[in-house]
Amino acid sequence: MTNQQPIYILPESAIRTKGREAHRNNIAAAKLVAETVRTTLGPKGMDKMLVDSSGDIIITNDGVTILEEMQIEHPAAKMLVEVAKTQENEVGDGTTTAVVLAGELLKNAEDLIDKEVHPTVIVKGYRIASEIAQKVLNTMAEDINKDDTDTLEKIAITAMTGKGAEASKEKLAKMAVHAILKIIEIKEKIIIDLDNIKLEKKIGGGTEDSELVEGIILDKERVHSSMPRLIKDAKILLLDSALELKGPETDTKISITTPDQLQAFLDNEEKTIRDMVEKIVYSGANVVLCQKGIDDVAQHFLAKRGIYTLRRINDSDMTKLAKATGARIVSNLDDLSKEDLGYSGLVEAQKMGDEEWTFIRNCKNPKAVTFLVRGGTRHVVDEAERAIKDALGDIASALKQGKVVAGAGATETEVARNLRKFSTTLSGREQLAVLAFADAMEVIPRTLAENAGLDPIDILTALKQKHDEGKKWAGIDVFTGKVVDAWKMGVIEPLKIKVQAVKSATEVANMILRIDDIIASGKDARPMGMPHGMNPDMM
Ligand code: ADP
Ligand code: MG
């Protein structure tokens, strides 16, 4: 055929980037994201201030929080945000590490692409390197169990160093370990459900005023001010039905024609409520925590009987209360027996600023506890909460897997060293990719050094030398600028942080590298006529 017509499969106006250009574009976007969070890495990392359109600010050092709050549009950049989220969900910490690593993998890949190494080869080399890296990490890890509270506290301190909770990290670390050891369940495997640690925030005081309550804190006040403020040896009833007559069943119309009839009706209603309260008294309960409403008459009788009562407690708090106090949640007062009641050594109303809260303390062997986070301002409290969450996540993850490693750049340097050794067994271009991976691992110690204002070249040289001498835990003391034994220094992290960071960083880098065509898709995925914002799966 001679007179060949061009064939259009896309509208001429379609935005499309292909080949090398597509790679460059995606890599540039991903690198920018990594660059943004990079300065926050490590104890000497800086914080970011995020300001939204209404002027609300968040001050944080936490990778995933920064990325979630930023308005990221570029698709490849969004993929990097996903890495942070995966890391957050899987471990709860190490989000900056994962993103910085992914950015560096892509940056090094770009150099290889410029040297005419095909992306497919890089992808393959990275995959091999990632597997080796994970093996090295597993081999170098040390065992840990719940009796090693000393090391567990070090894990918590490492997680919080340089974060909002810095000032009182020793105290908070002890509380975090204590909290985990209360809720841990050891069956065929170790179960740690972090939902059983309630985090309650209150502005006021300083972070050092934070406290761990062996029980539950509820931001609720007694339904009647004449109820006692303090109950020792509390027998707690958890009730998930209302203490009132206005239930749908009883809300029927009655016709009253004489004053006597009205009085009789009211007397009858009052008697029903009084009977309910008497059933509670008879069970021996002196605290009632009710999920539903409590009407005035019931409040009056409960107050007269000296029962500490709260109402409208939410579902998740009810579950936690049951776990903390050992109570069974009761729906029907006719079935109530004293075995259903839970126990707490002390229930008290406590003034918190201008509110009254309820503290259910000293539970016997509680399976749910509360971390009360204090701090001078909202920003301090929020950032302290994020730091505590990181600490809890790290302790949990260390215990679940039973493996820990030293941080401060030690593991990454050791992985890089092993990868370089391994690369000699490969030929040609794959070897280049594995070497590029090894170099990328060193972005972590390099960044730790840079953020501490140290000379990265000097430090990295010294660090590598120690590792060549067989010192696998050699890491950077960012406070003195020396290469030290990071294990002895007490910089300890769960193995899972490191493995997950390598895994997800490689996955996203490879996914981005495999893309050689970016097409603006104009197709609307919604079936015709469906309004915007509606998910077709919902139909
Ligand atoms: P991420 O979001 O990745 O957890 P962080 O800002 O928490 O980022 O920094 C974690 C890094 O800081 C890890 O590489 C960890 O080993 C390192 N690190 C933590 N504490 C210290 C310390 N005291 N000295 C040196 N490095 C530390
Ligand atoms: Mg961290």
Does residue 92 have its Cβ closer than 6 Å to ligand 1?
Answer: no
Distance, in Å, from the CA atom of 344 to the CA atom of 362, rounded to the nearest integer, reads 6
pLDDT, greater one: 516 or 208? 208
**Distances in Å between the alpha carbon of 296 and those of 52, 271, 333, 394?**
44, 14, 18, 47
Q: Classify residue 243 by its DSSP letter.
A: B
Does residue 451 have its Cβ closer than 6 Å to ligand 1?
Answer: no
Give the number of the atom of ligand 1 that is nearest the alpha carbon of residue 406: 16
pLDDT value at residue 11:
64
- What single string gives the DSSP state of each residue in 352-414? ETTEEEEEEE--SS-SSEEEEEEESSHHHHHHHHHHHHHHHHHHHHHHHHTEEEETTTHHHHH
pLDDT, greater one: 262 or 83? 83
Q: Which CATH number fits domain 145-212+369-399: 1.20.1540.10, 3.30.260.10, 3.20.20.70, 3.40.50.1980?
A: 3.30.260.10
Q: Which among 440, 444, 411, 518 has a CA at the least distance from the CA of 125?
A: 440
Q: Which among 359, 392, 318 has a CA at the least distance from the CA of 213?
A: 359
**Residue 43 CA to ligand 2 centre (angstroms):** 9
Ligand nearest to the CA of 44: 1
Reported residue count of the chain is: 539
Query: Which active-site residues does the annotation give?
Result: 62, 95-96, 390
Does residue 63 have its Cβ closer than 6 Å to ligand 1?
Answer: yes
Does residue 41 have its Cβ closer than 6 Å to ligand 1?
Answer: yes
pLDDT value at residue 526:
42
Grade residue 175 by pLDDT with cuts at 50, 70 and 90: very high
pLDDT value at residue 251:
55
pLDDT value at residue 249:
53
Query: Which of the residue ranges 6-10, 168-172, 384-388, 399-403 has the most confident prediction, judged by mean pLDDT?
Result: 399-403
**Residue 41 CA to ligand 1 centre (angstroms):** 6
pLDDT value at residue 517:
67
- The runs of H, that is alpha helices, within 12-148 are 19-38, 63-69, 75-90, 95-114, 119-140
Does residue 102 have its Cβ closer than 6 Å to ligand 1?
Answer: no
Grade residue 150 by pLDDT with cuts at 50, 70 and 90: very high
Distance, in Å, from the CA atom of 136 to the CA atom of 502, rounded to the nearest integer, reads 12
Distance, in Å, from the CA atom of 501 to the CA atom of 411, rounded to the nearest integer, reads 12
3-class DSSP state of 249 = coil
Residue 226 phi, psi dihedral angles, 5° rounding:
-90, 0
- The runs of H, that is alpha helices, within 284-344 are 296-304, 315-325
pLDDT value at residue 482:
93
Distance, in Å, from the CA atom of 249 to the CA atom of 212, rounded to the nearest integer, reads 43
pLDDT value at residue 81:
86
Grade residue 12 by pLDDT with cuts at 50, 70 and 90: low
- Mean pLDDT throughout 237-253? 72
pLDDT value at residue 248:
46
- pLDDT tens-digit profile of 426-479? 888 889 999 999 999 999 999 999 999 999 999 999 999 999 999 999 999 999
**Residue 446 CA to ligand 2 centre (angstroms):** 16
pLDDT, greater one: 333 or 66? 333
First to last CA, the chain: 50
Note the pTM of the prediction, 2 decimals.
0.81
Residue nearest to atom 23 of ligand 1 (CA): 491
Grade residue 536 by pLDDT with cuts at 50, 70 and 90: very low
pLDDT value at residue 40:
86
What architecture (CATH level 2) is domain 216-247+256-365? 3-Layer(bba) Sandwich (3.50)
- pLDDT tens-digit profile of 180-205? 999 998 888 899 998 999 999 988 88
pLDDT of 379 > 90? The answer is no
Which tokens belong to 332? 């029907």
- pLDDT tens-digit profile of 271-285? 888 888 888 889 989
pLDDT of 56 > 90? The answer is no
pLDDT of 539 > 50? The answer is no
- pLDDT tens-digit profile of 118-144? 889 999 999 999 999 999 999 999 999
- Mean pLDDT throughout 238-256? 71
For residue 404, give every residue at least 6 positions away whose Cβ sits within 8 Å of its Cβ, in sequence order, or none: 141, 142, 144, 151, 155, 398, 492, 493, 494, 495
Contact 339, 263 (CB under 8 A): no
Ligand nearest to the CA of 87: 1
pLDDT of 528 > 50? The answer is no
pLDDT value at residue 535:
43
pLDDT of 399 > 70? The answer is yes
Q: How many CB atoms lie within 10 A of CB 462?
A: 15
pLDDT value at residue 167:
74
- Mean pLDDT throughout 368-384? 87
- Which of 90, 96, 160 has most ligand 1 atoms within 8 Å of CB, for mutation? 96
pLDDT value at residue 178:
93
The domain ranges of the chain are 16-143+405-538, 145-212+369-399, 216-247+256-365
Average pLDDT, rounded, for the chain: 86
- What single string gives the DSSP state of each residue in 20-35? HHHHHHHHHHHHHHHH
Domain 16-143+405-538 in this protein, CATH class: mainly alpha
